[in-house]
Chains A and B, each alone.
Chain A
Amino acid sequence: MSFPLLTATAALPAVGAIATAAVPAARRTAAKWLALVVSLATLVLAVVVLVRFDPDGARYQLTESHPWIADFGVRYDLGVDGIAAVLIALTALLIPFIVLAGWHDADPLETGSKRWRPTQGFFALILAVEAMVIISFESTDVFLFYIFFEAMLIPMYFLIGGFGDRAHEHGEEAASTQRSYAAVKFLLYNLVGGLIMLAAVIGLYVVAGNFSLTEIAQARANGSLHMATSTERWLFLGFFFAFAVKAPLWPLHTWLPNAMQESTAPVAVLITAVVDKVGTFAMLRYCLQLFPEASKWATPVILVLAVIGIIYGALLAVGQRDIKRLVAYASISHFGFIILGIFAMTSQGQSGATLYMVNHGISTAALMLVAGFLISRRGSRLIADYGGVQKVAPVLAGTFLIGGLATLSLPGLAPFVSEFLVLVGTFTRYPAIGIVATFGIVLAALYTLVLYQRTMTGPVKPEVSAMPDLRARELVVVAPLIVLLIFLGVYPKPVTDIVNPAVKQTMSDVHKTDPKPEAEAAK
């Protein structure tokens, strides 16, 4: 038996989580280092997965298969296609930065307030989330996927509810209340989505007789598993609803601004850049493969919701007074693009959407983590409390600007490639929707540059005049992200080469081919 690489990639952070949690209370720093080392080792494994993955090989690779709950036909089936391999790499890539950025976020307060949970817990929970996200990407068993899709809510709930920004405009008590509200809202939204999905998972079992993604998809493709149209649609809706909550798709998005606003910046990155990606990933993998006809049936509505999300999220970002809420609404706009790309059903749209997931992860991490550094210096999330930071902390301001430019998809930086692919992929099939979505690029410039102008330029506010520039640890977090943004902006081929074959397969699952150019079609 070959080395179970995929199991190891998920198990390493899981074991690391337990080990980190078990570090004695007095050895706080050791726990941090342990978490960092584990996350880096996981990154190494994820890179090995990428290297071992052969883009031209079988659809699912590095597969592992073991019976688990034989009575219910549940199996422990793992395997990755190009899309999953890339997203695992993204997850493993971001976690070390999240750990490093949150280095002091869970330190106990000097006052000895009991409101701060132990440092060890913070880092253990992050690793636990990582493990569950990775196994969700790896799983090729619907039930196995469902379990971890749901289970990751638990550590996330504690991360949101238990650790927030130290400073709060209305004092510690109010902060605590708002935090728990955000955490509970996050949990309930996702639990409801999950429960509906559970019904659909069971329904699928009734129809198909097993939970194996590959088997069911194959049976669907060769016609041996027939589903009545209405059955397929109901099951599709059950799955899609859960993913649309998690992604999130307008109008199911309102939990995200609360959650991102109340949690610390690294946790906010964990939510939007890592956990939410499971939702969009699952749309691409489960909705399209298992229910191709229903997916096509629902496409018009989903496209409209996605494009509403793009414009609506961007407009709301413009209207925010709170830096983190602004980034949250920007993310809602970006998720609109991802979902648009998936359901445009073109290879540019779907490869673009996958690349978008990666690039959005990196760019949001860059912007949000720098925002977090900024907030930790001044102790306020309100945009109006800043001004003229550029003068006192030019490196911080410069990195913040680059994060912002990535968010507005400046050509030359990675997000431009994915955004343009999504737009062009949408446009070839749905020109009107493509054009409306294009308005998003103007609004993105608006909210990003307004944020930069209000916080970084103008006369130096007295409260920020003593603000220190980025420290070494913070630079170590930001610099590699910026390098990646530039590298993937000028040379995205390493990612698209892995993703393209998987997208091609998905396109054939839904029996769609790219529209031909008009001049060619006319001949």
Chain B
Amino acid sequence: MNAENLIALLIAAPLLGAAVLLLGGRRLDGVGHWIGTLLSTASFVFGVILFADLLGRNAEHRTLTQHLWTWISVGSFQADVTFRLDQLSMTFVLLITGVGSLIHVYSIGYMEHDERRRRFFGYLNLFLAAMLLLVLADNYLLLYVGWEGVGLASYLLIGFWQHKPSAATAAKKAFLVNRVGDMGLSIAIMLMFTTFGTFAFGPVFSHVGDASEGKLTAIGLMLLLAACGKSAQVPLQSWLGDAMEGPTPVSALIHAATMVTAGVYLIVRSGDVFNAAPDAQLVVTVVGAVTLLFGAIVGCAKDDIKKALAGSTMSQIGYMVLAAGLGPIGYVFAIMHLVTHGFFKAGLFLGAGSVMHGMNDEVDMRKYGGLRKYMPVTFITFGLGYLAIIGFPGLSGFFSKDKIIEAAFAKGGTEGWILGACALLGAAITAFYMTRVMLMTFFGEERWRNQPTRSPQAPSAEPAAEHHGEHAEPHPHESPKVMTIPMIVLAVGSVFGGAFFSIGDRFLHWLEPVTGHSEGDSPLSAATVTGATMVCLVIGVGIAYVQYGRRPVPAVAPRGSLLTRAARRDLLQDDFNHVVLVRGGEHLTRSLVYVDHTLVDGVVNGTAAGFGGLSGRLRKLQNGYARSYAVSMFGGAALLVAATLLMRAV
């Protein structure tokens, strides 16, 4: 069997799982989670087989394609269901199915008490299938199917506890904000079609030279809009924080490790287009730099552990987008950071889930403290993820983030300095907020003693707490093995992944044939950048230690500075949305309903009345006399006959 033919199976396995679990009904309740985990793992195994196959080939021959059928064909518009597996999509396949399978395993324990666990696993499998389609598609329209498919899975999973209005609202918001991004993808595809006559990867990339720069810039910006929606980049970032309403494994898989990085994939995949559109690239880097600071600042102010991590995710993806905007200097490192981030952020989220699991689903870090004694495995794995994300020397984040900061400086010119400075500043803030999370959760006083968790005014994310009884003091405990083992595996990846990829530039050599690579021209030596990064790291950790390690953490959040208060409210993004979009929209639709009822209806009816006194007849007919109706029908018929006879006479 040719390796190509295996590609479809990567998608087919989880798709089958989703179909079986969602259509199977209650009789599968007892085994649903095993079916889901099995098929997810099967997809991972196919991935490993294909990976081995690719490794056995020359670097230039590592692109496999599989054509299944012609999807749409109208005139010159041709869309095929064709998959492309190359080094870039292979990397994603392993990340998606690998982390995905671990999170399936974790969810067996995490969702054990949820009566809708089967459905949960069905949605997870659906997500995997859609995400794999997204990264394996060989043309933009097929990619679009995966793109919105993951959006659907995300919608279903954020709103998994739909009886909670906040979850339902968050799910809807995520879908809507993403739809704005999807508009960008639609327009980009249409622009490609009018420019190149196709939107398949190969032909588009090879004909980039035939298009004007203006067109390419437009395509690039529209792709960026799409990426902003999916990857929660400014200005379409507002949905990610709310998305934490979903169960924590979902936050780990979809809203940290895989789906939210799809925007980075899109930009890197479209590298040939961006390389020829420097203006679009500049905007990409600006979006990345702004978001990496935006997310980091929000992450500093949140007391909800998941929302703090969500701010962090936004910020880390900002790094990736920044790197992707740098062009061939940055593509490889964008993806490398994406993969290492997949390890440590998924691990951090699973750790957060484990903490919540042991704490009656409390999410407020001000009600944590000193948990390291009670949850040693969680503490260690979370701690390793923490060290990885802040870029502690030798761990994953150290290698991947450092490379991005170097690359930012290497862009050269004023831009290089500004972007590099932003990236450095981001590193300091990252160190600060992650240290804060670490200290508030695992160190310090045991603030959960003698106080009931889950005050009714501030219901937390996880409604499973209803089962535990609301007002009991929590008894922190370690999670079962089915949950801790995935955490341990991810922690191992967080520790060694970066070094493994970087030694001998393994990752670079692997990905370079697809993305291309250039060194750039850095005004600073690599050692200088690393040194500066270390200084930032120490400063960030130091400030956090002074504020949250040395002093006791108040159980009730202090009022805080203007910036803190704004950051708690996600830098007022929702307030803006509410006033401009929600309120404005409500006024608009309400007035339109009025206009439609009075003006449009009235004018059309009135015009008709003006022509033939119809409104009078309307009123008469309204009384329900079938007789007058019949009369008018006969009137019409008579008119018809008279008219035709008249025509004959003429």
Contact = CB atoms under 8 A, between A and B. Distances in A.
Interface of A: 71-72, 150, 154, 157, 161, 176-177, 180-181, 184-185, 187-189, 191-192, 194-195, 198-199, 202, 205-206, 251-254, 312, 315-316, 318-320, 346-348, 351-352, 388, 390-391, 398, 405, 410-412, 416-417, 420-421, 423-424, 427-428, 431, 434-435, 438-439, 441-442, 445-446, 449-450, 453, 456-460, 490-493, 496, 500, 503, 514-520, 522-523
Contacts of A315: 588-589, 592
Contacts of B572: none
Interface stretch (B167-175, B374-382, B402-410, B436-444): B167-175
B621 A184 contact: yes
Nearest to A395: B25
A254 B604 contact: yes
Interface in B187-232: 187, 189-191, 193-198, 207, 210-212, 215
Interface in B557-590: 585, 588-590
B159 interface: yes
Interface stretch (B68-76, B318-326, B497-505): B68-76
Given A72-B644, A449-B172, A458-B168, A518 B636 contact: no
B183 interface: yes
Given A181-B622, A347-B75, A453 B169 contact: yes
Contact of B183 (A189, A438, A518): A438
B186 A449 contact: no
B141 A420 contact: yes
Given A71-B648, A352-B74, A191 B636 contact: yes
A457 B162 contact: yes
A516 B193 CA distance: 10
Contacts of A517: 76, 193-198
Contacts, number: 211
Contacts of A457: 159, 162-163, 165, 167-168
Q: Of residues A252, A388, A427, A460, which shows the largest number of chain B Cβ atoms within 10 Å of its Cβ?
A: A427
Nearest to B602: A254
21 contacts: A184-B618, A191-B636, A192-B614, A194-B636, A206-B650, A254-B604, A316-B593, A319-B590, A390-B162, A391-B163, A398-B22, A434-B187, A442-B179, A445-B175, A492-B71, A493-B70, A493-B71, A500-B74, A503-B74, A517-B197, A520-B197
Contacts of B186: 420, 423, 438, 441
Given A176-B624, A198-B640, A514-B75, 9 more contacts: A184-B629, A195-B636, A254-B596, A411-B144, A411-B149, A442-B183, A453-B171, A453-B172, A493-B69
A439 B172 CA distance: 17
B632 interface: yes
Nearest to B149: A412
A188 B621 contact: yes
A458 B163 CA distance: 4
Contact of A411 (B22, B148, B648): B148
A410 B182 CA distance: 11
A239 to B, nearest CB: 16
B110 to A, nearest CB: 21
Interface in B67-97: 69-77, 81
Contact of A421 (B77, B162, B194, B636): B77
Main secondary structure of the interface of B (DSSP, over half): helix
Interface string B107-131: 0000000000000000000000000
Main secondary structure of the interface of A (DSSP, over half): helix
A394 to B, nearest CB: 8
Nearest to A459: B163
B589 A198 contact: no
Given A390-B162, A391-B163, A459-B163, A177 B622 contact: yes
Contact of B194 (A72, A198, A428, A456): A428
Contacts of A491: 69, 71
B145 interface: yes
A496 B73 contact: yes
Contact of B629 (A157, A515, A518, A522): A157
B592 A316 contact: yes
B75 A348 contact: yes
Contacts of A423: 186, 190
A157 B633 CA distance: 12
- The 3 A-B pairs of least Cβ separation, nearest first, read A517-B197, A319-B589, A347-B75
Nearest to B116: A394
Contacts of A519: 195-197, 207, 210-211
A71 B163 CA distance: 69
B600 interface: yes
Given A411-B149, A518-B211, A188 B608 contact: yes
B176 interface: yes
B180 interface: yes
A500 B70 CA distance: 15
Nearest to A517: B197
A177 to B, nearest CB: 7
A380 B589 CA distance: 23
Contacts of A514: 75-76
A341 to B, nearest CB: 11
Contacts of A185: 618
Contacts of A319: 589-590, 592-593
Contacts of A492: 71-72
A417 B144 CA distance: 11
Contact of B585 (A318, A351, A421): A318
A195 B632 CA distance: 12
B77 A251 contact: no
Contact of B592 (A251, A312, A351, A520): A312
B195 A518 contact: yes
B266 to A, nearest CB: 15
A202 B643 contact: yes
Contacts of B207: 519
Nearest to A435: B187
A456 B228 CA distance: 30
B617 interface: yes
Nearest to A143: B644
Nearest to A355: B74
A150 B640 CA distance: 12
Contact of A412 (B145, B180, B621, B648): B145
A187 B633 CA distance: 10
B601 interface: yes
A298 B169 CA distance: 44
B75 A424 contact: no
Nearest to B623: A180
B64 interface: no
B87 to A, nearest CB: 26
B89 to A, nearest CB: 19
B601 A254 contact: yes
Contacts of B148: 410-412
Contacts of B190: 423-424, 427-428, 431, 434
A518 B215 CA distance: 10
B152 interface: yes
Nearest to A522: B210
Contacts of B588: 315
A428 B189 CA distance: 11
B1 interface: no
Contacts of A388: 163
Contacts of B608: 188-189, 192
A491 B189 CA distance: 20
A177 B168 CA distance: 38
A450 to B, nearest CB: 7
B546 interface: no
B600 to A, nearest CB: 5
Interface string B622-650: 11100001001100100110011001101
A72 B172 contact: no
Nearest to A496: B74
A71 to B, nearest CB: 7
Given A206-B650, A460-B163, A439 B643 contact: no
A416 B146 CA distance: 13
A149 B204 CA distance: 47
